[in-house]
Structure 1
Amino acid sequence: MLGRATSWAQRLLRSPGEYVTVAEERLVRKLDLMICPIFFLINFASILDRSNIGNAKIQGMDRDLGLNIGNRYNIVLVIFFVPYILLELPSNLIVHHVRPSYYISALIFSCGIVVMCEGFVNTYQALIGLRFLLGVLEAGIFPGILYVTSMYYKRFEYQRRLTAIWSSAILSNAFGGLLAYSIAHLDGHYGYAAWRCADVTCLHPPARIFIIEGAITAFFGGIAFFWIPDWPEQNKYLSMADKGMIRQRLLSDQPAVEEPEMTLHQLGVILLDWKIWISALNAFSGIVTVYAIASFLPTILNEFGWDVVDVQLHTIPVWAVAFLVAALVSWASDRLQHRSLFILALVIPPTVGYAILLRQEAFSRRAQYAATFLVVLGIPTTPVVYAWLMNNLRGHGRRAVGSAVVNSVGNCGGVVASNVFLARAGPRYYAGYGTALACIWITGIGAAVMAAAMYMANRTRERRELTGMAETEEAHGNGPAYEYTL
């Protein structure tokens, strides 16, 4: 145990030089500039489009569209996830056979058009239809990002890049709060309620500001067509030497495995992979917390006694802390070449936070607000779960299916989160806080089970003769000399 701790300390404190040659370091920096900024912008716009409804709700949208009748608001949240969940796997099977630059850019451009249409919504039914359509289009965006990025980086480079992209979701919530705070002062000006501007940049105050935000999202889709990298062997911005170096780097990290054609039989074989389903459970339970906080944090803070404008301002530091912790965790996880213990450690702060919120009548408003900071510290578990799974899947087909399944099942947590903070349960929201607390512990237990299974599998491989285990390992798609990342 002491030896392992010493090894981890050496990894954490070692010189930042990670590459064998200058050419390799130059290639990785080139990939970073090619991949991370555009996917960051795309994911930022995607999350902003779907999540600012929480800010809009408390600024008058529920009153204007009748969302305060029964559970209409919860239905508006849930309807997005129906196509989003069902279409992720089909979408990744499509992108497996086409150029990502064509497919993902078309999806994000279309999302921008739908968001522009939301600027004209006057009825609850119209909002339902547009949210459903937005779910159809967004179903392929993040699973596609997850899949494409995994084909460029080595296992212990991947977490930082994925978190950098995924953290745009956290920043979009902070940015949404800042926007909502700024435009709250426009309520009633120019004949439009402020909530109609809740998803926009407010570059121009008139009513069509909502349309401007959609236009910006569509603009990202336009530039994405030229910027999004295709598969390494198709990438027109890489030289033959670059492509060869990428291939060699990935082979040195994970030995090659022969990939059969993606048939229904092969799909069934992949879907029997236990790692995918444990990761999907971990993602599901973790995302309950993510979406519960993203969609209901303004409502929760409003119940603490702040007025609408102050609520928007108070959401910003909460998301800023979540972003900083996610960045720190991703750096340390790659540096230590470890995943599972970070998930287990991130279970503790939300446990304390939810315990305070469940007993909030015994605490001051300041303590209740501090509890929301502890709660969001569980959010970085999600990118760790994604990166951990992708580290332990090999080949195009397995990663295409695995990334889609884990994100699809994971986002079922959004359906749960949308229905546990019911208006009639306020201001205590015991069901919401209790469900989120239980789910964060399910993530921790799932991570512990997955780590234990991988540890035992690694030990078994060390004891067996290489020829004796080749057949078993090949059946699982990992090859004879494969060692799981813990």
Structure 2
Amino acid sequence: MGPQQRDNSTAQLDLENDSDLKQDQDISATSGDADSRRSTLELSPEERRLVRKLDMRILPIACLMYLFAFLDRSNLGNARLQGLPQDALHGDPTGVLFDWINSGFFFSYILFQVPSSVVSKLFRPRLWLGSAALGWGISSTLMPASAREFRFIFVRPGPPFSGSLVQPPLRNVMKNWNINVKTAYFYTKHEMGLRMAYWFGFAAVAGAFGGLIAFGVQHAHSAVANWRLLFIIEGIPAVLLGIAAITLLPDRPEMTSFFNEDERAIAVSRMNRAISGDVGLNVNKAHVWAALKDWRVYMGGVIYFGLNCALASTSAFLPTIILTFGFTNAIAQLLTVPPYAVAALVLTLTSYASDRMQSRGIFMAASSALGGIGYLLLLVVPSNEHVRYFAVFCITSGTYTTIGLIIAWFAHNLGSESKRAAGIPMFMAIGQCGSVLGSHLYPATEGPRYM
């Protein structure tokens, strides 16, 4: 190819990139209308069969990975009531050491989220997600070997390659997952909310399930300390799920062996519906830069900051909060189960309605208001434990529902794949700064009211 030909080719490529970028900038104004028109049409029988096939392969693995990812995250709150501060933190009378151990996870989350998510586009999704799950599971399982606080702070963060999953998954990969980016390969905008509700709802299920496991471990008579046994029991399944993800999850629609040729054509068409899809393992640098300049990413990050402040404090301190109602350690852990179970139900129903109406903002506002009512009740009702326990239901239901909705909102509203791969983890990295703050909101010296 001569110099003139190369120049023409480069110019043509620049024009194509500029055209894609303009499409991304206008996507929020156009994709909603296009998707609404599409949602009014019946899917063909072939496409319905494809969606069912995707649901049966992707959702069980993704949901289970997030379940154990969140178990590995929230078990620190249960371990606090099972002797961790006394064994490894010199008693921690102020609670400051526990707060730093809990927030240590989020520092690596914030630092590695954007680069790991962008780089993940250069690798097959099943290998990336499965490796992240393996790394997180190994780290969680090894935490009982940490006998001093500085080792906890070092081991607690997920490995650098466990980007945002799905941030999944395990915790880093699943939750932002890369799961937002990866599932958008297979689901359209009007299908995404309910799938994200199923997936993120397992964070609430993990809270309920974790309370049951902690209650059982509390009564175990083992040579190993209860809190150490808790980490081991909840960490090993993550390793097994990592192996399952590597084996069973599909790769990108155009390159996975999961589809036959007819299914592949439908899947690729769906991937490019109302958004700009990439082809193969590559990164469009212009679109990454566009994500860094998009005001919506930063506005979403501010909203997510507040939500994660509530989520992180709830995950780490809910057993402690319920303990202030006058229950024993074991009963306090058991009573964390109903609020999480109700939160999962509210999240699923609200997300279903949100998908049907193709509206996220009004449902987020209502859910946030519900969580705010819960915090106000805890603040102004100091003695009625029935009202205070009801407030816990409001907090968990409002917080989990709003987070599930905003994750679904961002999954399809940034345009191209490369822009989503940079924009979604950027908005989540900003939001995770709220998790650091939430980890320090309940110092032991301010109990039992925690004003």
* Aligned with residue 389 of structure 1, among 386, 396, 410: 410
Deviation at 1:81, TM superposition (A): 0.7
Per-residue CA deviations over 1:115-162 (Å, capped at 9, x if unaligned) read 221232322222222113557645444321111001211111001111
- 1:188-199 matched pairs, under 5 angstroms: 189-199=221-231
* Aligned with residue 372 of structure 2, among 341, 348, 351: 351
Question: Matches of 1:191 and 1:256 in 2, distance apart?
Answer: 57
Question: Matches of 1:257 and 1:121 in 2, distance apart?
Answer: 44
Deviation at 1:183, TM superposition (A): 1.4
CA contact (8 A) 2:288 2:423 kept: no
Question: Matches of 2:43 and 2:158 in 1, distance apart?
Answer: 47
Say if 2:293 is the partner of 1:293.
Answer: no
Question: Matches of 2:53 and 2:278 in 1, distance apart?
Answer: 29
Match of 1:23 in 2: 46
| Structure 1 letter corresponding to 2:270 | R
Say if 2:397 is the partner of 1:372.
Answer: no
State the secondary structure of the residue aligned to 1:233: coil
| Structure 2 letter corresponding to 1:197 | L
Match of 1:248 in 2: 269
Question: Matches of 2:378 and 2:160 in 1, distance apart?
Answer: 31
- 1:12-411 matched pairs, under 5 angstroms: 19-66=42-89, 68-70=92-94, 71-133=96-158, 137=162, 138-142=171-175, 143-186=177-220, 189-199=221-231, 210=232, 212-251=233-272, 253-254=273-274, 256=276, 262=283, 266-361=287-382, 363-379=383-399, 380-411=401-432
Per-residue CA deviations over 1:328-384 (Å, capped at 9, x if unaligned) read 0111111111111101111222222111111232x4111111111111121210121
Question: Matches of 2:226 and 2:366 in 1, distance apart?
Answer: 40
Deviation at 1:197, TM superposition (A): 2.3
Per-residue CA deviations over 1:359-417 (Å, capped at 9, x if unaligned) read 232x4111111111111121210121111122212221011112211221121111010
Per-residue CA deviations over 1:47-93 (Å, capped at 9, x if unaligned) read 11121100110121111112524410001011111111110111111
Per-residue CA deviations over 1:424-443 (Å, capped at 9, x if unaligned) read 1111111xxxxxxxxxxxxx
Question: Matches of 2:302 and 2:226 in 1, distance apart?
Answer: 38
| Structure 2 letter corresponding to 1:198 | L
| Structure 2 letter corresponding to 1:22 | P
Question: Matches of 1:278 and 1:184 in 2, distance apart?
Answer: 43
State the secondary structure of the residue aligned to 2:122: coil
Question: Matches of 2:87 and 2:173 in 1, distance apart?
Answer: 32
CA contact (8 A) 1:283 1:386 kept: no
Deviation at 1:217, TM superposition (A): 1.3
TM-score normalised according to structure 2 size:
0.84
Question: Matches of 1:31 and 1:97 in 2, distance apart?
Answer: 23
The change in CA–CA distance for 1:198 and 1:263 in structure 2 (over 3 A counts) is same
State the secondary structure of the residue aligned to 2:203: helix
Deviation at 1:168, TM superposition (A): 1.2
Question: Matches of 1:257 and 1:133 in 2, distance apart?
Answer: 29
Identity of aligned residues (%): 30
For structure 1, list consecutive stretches of 5 or more residues without a partner in the other structure.
1-15, 200-209, 431-486
The change in CA–CA distance for 1:257 and 1:129 in structure 2 (over 3 A counts) is closer
| Structure 1 letter corresponding to 2:324 | E
CA contact (8 A) 2:339 2:397 kept: no
- Higher mean alpha-carbon deviation, 226-235 vs 291-300, is at 226-235
Higher relative contact order (CA 8 A, sep 6+): 2
Question: Matches of 1:258 and 1:96 in 2, distance apart?
Answer: 10
CA RMSD of aligned residues (A): 2.1
| Structure 2 letter corresponding to 1:302 | L
| Structure 1 letter corresponding to 2:442 | F
| Structure 2 letter corresponding to 1:81 | F
Per-residue CA deviations over 1:184-222 (Å, capped at 9, x if unaligned) read 112xx23332222224xxxxxxxxxx2x54332111111
| Structure 2 letter corresponding to 1:160 | L
Question: Matches of 1:135 and 1:93 in 2, distance apart?
Answer: 13
Question: Matches of 2:209 and 2:234 in 1, distance apart?
Answer: 13
Per-residue CA deviations over 1:155-182 (Å, capped at 9, x if unaligned) read 1100111111111111111111001111
TM-score normalised according to structure 1 size:
0.78
CA contact (8 A) 2:284 2:418 kept: no
- Higher mean alpha-carbon deviation, 113-122 vs 390-399, is at 113-122
